[in-house]
Structure 1
Amino acid sequence: MKLTPTQTRYLIIAALVVLWEVLPRAGLIAPLFLPPLTQTLAAGFGDARAYASHLLVTLGEVAVSMIFACGGGILVGAVVGSVPKLGRLLLPLFSGFYAVPLVVLYPVFTAWFGIGSESKIVFASIYGFFPTMLGTAAGIATIDPHYLVAARSMGATLPQRIVRVVVPAAIPTVLSSFRIGGALVIVGVVVSEMLTSSAGIGYLITSYRTVLDSPRVFAAIILVLILAVAFDALVQLAERRTAAWRQAGRAAAKTARGTRPGGAMQPASVAP
């Protein structure tokens, strides 16, 4: 019997869950390093109120950071990718900034913005901004220019070219950039909470790690994993919802690009 990729993934997850429970119980892994899954879940449910309150803090910081990192990254990337001269000027600069390990600059953010949510939001926003912006700019810059030329020659207005050609053609890359940038935002918030904070899931991880309470540490890590998986699932849902739009956009662009056998442009009207 041949398993589908989905079935294989579920089988791998089930195997990891079983190993997580069996290996510590059998003494093959010290519970200090990896407590049994049931013990971890019991610790998490036992302190559900505390985890929920700290999770709300993390979710708030992630939501605000997403707006600045992904929203700003997509906006700036669209502008930079649409203007070749601007792209040649700024992309090498942004790529150089992206190569810098930003975690070493976090003490600077805490000195500027304090140890509250502000420093976490700034750090996570910058952490997720660069991959989102660079990916969006690359996606828009690689759109076939013939599509835009053909649509413009057929009388398409600027809004029609953006909606019917640019956006559908760039959506796959934009969503991929959004997925990477959003994941880095989550990582940035949790890491910054682990370094200096008095609330949040990262703070719980550091606090319980200090007293060697491994079950509660792993319960907090499970929450972070759930948050990351939920975000990835939302992006996949957006990809499925925009699939028909992308196909329609490519069809419209190909129609606008249609030519006679001799190579001349066939007359066609652009739908409003």
Structure 2
Amino acid sequence: MMRRPDPKIVRWGILIALLVAWELVPRMGLLPELFLPRLSKTLTVLWIDLDKYWAALLVTLYEVVLAMVIACGLGIVAGATIGGIAVLRDLLLPVFSSLYAVPIVILYPIFTAWFGIGSQSKVMFAGIYGFFPVMLSTAAGIRTIDPQFLLAARSMGATVTQQITKVIIPASLPTVFGGLRLGGALAIIGVIVAEMLTASAGIGYLVTLNRTILDSPRVFAGILCILVLSVAYDIIARRLERRMVVWQSAGRRQQQASPRPIAQGAPAPAAA
């Protein structure tokens, strides 16, 4: 039987193949460099303008952090409230589910009218953009908690605070972290899109500025910065999830280490 390849090796292989294709496809003339500049040329431009891209990345990172505070903070609080109270769940959850289907980008002119074209409109827009998946995931995670857990906690004399901190929050963390990863990614997208529409600073602004003058290497240098920012956030979120949801991995290891039960009627192993 063929052995399954290591997922890490497969991921690194795909990444290396994409990078090699990025260099070879324009070099061989399969695509004009106006559409896809060589990877080496993109990295050279990024190194030459490193100070400019670093300053723009700091602006974008500042707006992304504030947007994530809004998306994740308000999303978790609202999701816990709506998911934990039956009346609010029945009244508001269908409304928020329907609003999540609306493309929020069409509302960006409203944010600029309310908050101006500065960082405030971008932060609020990206925060609302990432709010819905966090809120819905938190509400769904609380709804999937086994009632027997709460019953067992109450039977052992746990207070309401202890039930929330020891049962509800740990049991809903896997679903909440799934929403946090998606909500954080949408917050990054919201900031970049807002910077591309109306901004005078940030990575999105550099991408739009270089696109208007057809400077493809600098456009792809900005795209590369955005990709690095998104991948870094996903890695941090996954590592934080592994640290916070330790009981899941511990349960899997215990289940794998436990011996299989002997089938009924099967002979017991002979003593040595």
Q: Is the 8 A contact 2:173 2:245 kept in 1?
A: no
Shift of 1:247: 6.6
Equivalent-residue separation in structure 2 for 1:96 and 1:15 (angstroms): 40
Name which of 67, 72, 75 aligns with 2:74.
72
Could you tell me whether the CA contact under 8 Å between 1:125 and 1:185 is conserved in 2? Answer: yes
User: TM-score, normalized by length of structure 2?
Assistant: 0.89
Residue 142 of structure 1 deviates from its aligned partner by 1.0
Is 1:35 matched with 2:37? Answer: yes
**Match for residue 104 of structure 1 among 103, 106, 110:** 106
Instruction: Determine whether 1:223 maps to 2:225.
Output: yes
Q: Deviations over 1:46-76 (max 9, x none)?
A: 0011101111110110011111111110111
Gaps of 5+ in 2: 253-272
CA distance in 1, matches of 2:86, 2:224: 44
Equivalent residue for 1:92, pick from 84, 91, 94: 94
Q: Secondary structure at the match of 1:197?
A: coil
SS of 1:155 mapped into structure 2 = coil
Paired AA for residue 138 in structure 1: A
**Alignment match, 1:203:** 205
1:246, distance to aligned residue in structure 2 (A)? 5.0
Counterpart of 2:84 in structure 1 is 82
Q: Quote the Cα distance in structure 2 between the aligned partners of 1:165 and 1:194.
A: 43
Alignment of 1:48 onto 2:44: no
4+ runs of 1 displaced by more than 3 Å? 245-250
Amino acid across the alignment from 2:55 = S
TM-score using structure 1 length: 0.89
Structure 2 match to 1:137: 139
Seq. identity, %: 57
CA–CA separation in structure 1 for the residues paired with 2:73 and 2:189: 17
2:151 aligned residue: 149
| Secondary structure class of the residue paired with 1:38 | helix
Q: In the alignment, residue 127 of structure 2 is paired with which amino acid?
A: S
CA distance in 2, matches of 1:123, 1:202: 15
1:240-255 alignment to 2 at 5 Å? 240-246=242-248
Structure 1 residue 164 and structure 2 residue 193: aligned? no
Distance 1:17 1:94, change over 3 A: same
Match of 1:193 among 192, 195, 198: 195
Unaligned runs of 5+ residues in structure 1 are 251-272
Contact in 2 for aligned 1:175/1:239 (Cα 8 Å): yes
